[in-house]
Chain A
Amino acid sequence: MTMSHEEIYAKVQETLVDALGVDEEEVTEDATLMGDLGAESIDFLDIVFRLEKSFGIKIPREELFPAENLINNAEYVNNGKLTAAGLAKLKTQMPHVDFAEFEKDPDLNKISDLFCVSSIVKFVESKVNS
């Protein structure tokens, strides 16, 4: 069954409201999970579990949030920034994410900004409608 963007967005919004205890108005498409919505690392697990239940899909955690494995690898990280190889790797792992802003300064501290509501919506869209 195909779901529209709006339907998916509404359900993702509901999931994040429940998982993070935020208000619906705060969950805009460009809100970042950690910066704007106050998510901590364990919340990512919670979000994955809830999305799986809500949409009836399977989500390998590293597929939706792959950065953790990557930042522990010296080949991909140098001096607090992603190397070109690291950036390329992350891009292939996160095709649902917009890298335009991050690419200018691939600082590890900013990696959390990549996880915004719209990237989750795109990810779920690709799973549900595939």
Chain B
Amino acid sequence: MRWIWIDKFVEFESGKRAVAIKNVSLAEEHLHDHFPGYPIMPASLMIEAMAQTSGILVGEARGFREKVILAKVTKAVFHDLARPGDQLRLEAVADSVVEEAATITGTITCQNRTIAEISLIFSHIDKNMAGLEFPEENFVFNDQFMNLLQFYKPTGATGS
């Protein structure tokens, strides 16, 4: 099973940019430990949310043929806290998608607040790693992960 950490896409321009929503909820168990009495979303999980948003953007750009793996977090600056009840808007912009990799500039906002700036590099691993062989099957984009995009309606409807 693959862990899904964003709720839905609200904008998607193939190969260019994608916007996803993540609702932060006190039903997420880790928030009770991070921190007791002061629940805030861990910064690492903001990176994960941006990685999933941009991973799908990068994968879709090449028809989900590549195994797209997060290779480097080039920037992660956190400006504000994300708390239970916040709806995070994750915007990923593809600066470059080439044969072997892609670079993303990402911004996380909540209403008018900038929560974080996160830039990432993804590797198309079959095109890198000096000839190492990976499983034939695309273990990155399984059905569960792909459903996220399937429910996105380009007309702006919320999906069902």
Contacts and interface: CB of A to CB of B under 8 A. Distances in A.
Name A's interface SS. Answer: helix
B103 A42 contact: no
A14 to B, nearest CB: 14
A49 B100 contact: no
A19 B101 CA distance: 16
B13 interface: no
B74 A45 contact: no
Interface of B: 71-72, 74, 95-96, 98, 100-101, 103, 121, 123, 128-131
B159 to A, nearest CB: 33
Contact of A45 (B95, B121, B130): B121
Contacts of A72: 130-131
A43 interface: yes
Given A42-B71, A72-B130, A49 B123 contact: no
A46 B74 CA distance: 8
A68 B131 CA distance: 9
A43 B100 CA distance: 13
10 closest pairs, A vs B, by CB?
A42-B71, A45-B101, A72-B131, A49-B103, A42-B72, A68-B130, A46-B121, A49-B96, A46-B72, A46-B74
Name B's interface SS. Answer: strand
Given A19-B74, A61-B100, A45 B123 contact: yes
Interface string A26-57: 00000000000000011101100100110000
Contacts of B129: 41
B121 A53 contact: no
Contacts of B71: 42, 45
29 contacts: A19-B74, A41-B129, A41-B130, A42-B71, A42-B101, A42-B121, A43-B72, A45-B100, A45-B101, A45-B121, A45-B123, A45-B128, A46-B72, A46-B74, A46-B103, A46-B121, A49-B95, A49-B96, A49-B101, A49-B103, A49-B121, A52-B96, A53-B95, A61-B98, A61-B100, A68-B130, A71-B130, A72-B130, A72-B131
